[in-house]
């Protein structure tokens, strides 16, 4: 009986760990996917402005995006100008996640 309880607790603990790991893996995948999409579709104009390091547009002192909701809008705005083939919502989300993880670091509600 006692052994069984310990075993159950162990199993529940392990599956919780697995779930946490899966969530972290998914976030990492999403960021990775976002970077791939971003680097393929989002560099051209930013490169015109910052030829040496196009991502300076996100990290410069006077950047225009100052909160998370602005970031999602800006990704949509630039995205609809940038992309020939339509992106799914997941693609916009992945690019937003990548930019936030890498450059903006806003708290996501």
Question: Which residues here bind ligand HEC, judged by CB under 6 A?
Answer: 38, 41-42, 44-46, 49, 57-58, 63-65, 71, 74-75, 78-79, 81-82, 95, 99
Q: Taking the complex as a whole, how short is the minimal distance between the CB of residue 20 and ligand HEC, in angstroms?
A: 29
Residue 11 CB, shortest distance to ligand HEC, in Å, is 43
DSSP string, 38-93: HHHHSSHHHHHHSSS-TTHHHHSTT-S--SHHHHHHHHHHHHHHH-SSPPPHHHHH
Query: What is the closest distance, in whole angstroms, from the C-beta atom of residue 100 to ligand HEC in the complex?
Result: 10
CA distances from 95 to 13, 36, 65, 70 (A): 33, 9, 15, 14
Query: Shortest Cβ distance from residue 1 to ligand HEC (Å)?
Result: 57
Nearest-angstrom CA–CA distance, 95 and 26: 14
Which C-beta is closer to ligand HEC: that of 31 or that of 46?
46
The residue with tokens 């051209």 is 44
21 or 59: CB nearest ligand HEC: 59
Closer of 24 and 91 to ligand HEC (Cβ): 91
């Amino acid at each position: 009986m006692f052994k069984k309880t310990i075993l159950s607790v162990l199993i529940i603990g392990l599956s919780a760990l697995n779930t946490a790991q899966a969530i972290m893996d998914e976030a990492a995948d999403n960021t990775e996917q976002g970077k791939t999409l971003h680097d393929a579709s989002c560099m051209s104009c930013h490169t015109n402005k910052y030829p040496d390091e196009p991502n300076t547009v996100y990290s410069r002192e006077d950047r225009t995006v100052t909160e998370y909701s602005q970031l999602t809008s800006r990704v949509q705005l630039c995205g609809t100008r940038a992309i020939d083939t339509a992106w799914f919502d997941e693609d916009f989300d992945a690019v937003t996640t990548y930019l936030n993880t890498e450059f903006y670091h806003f708290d996501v509600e």
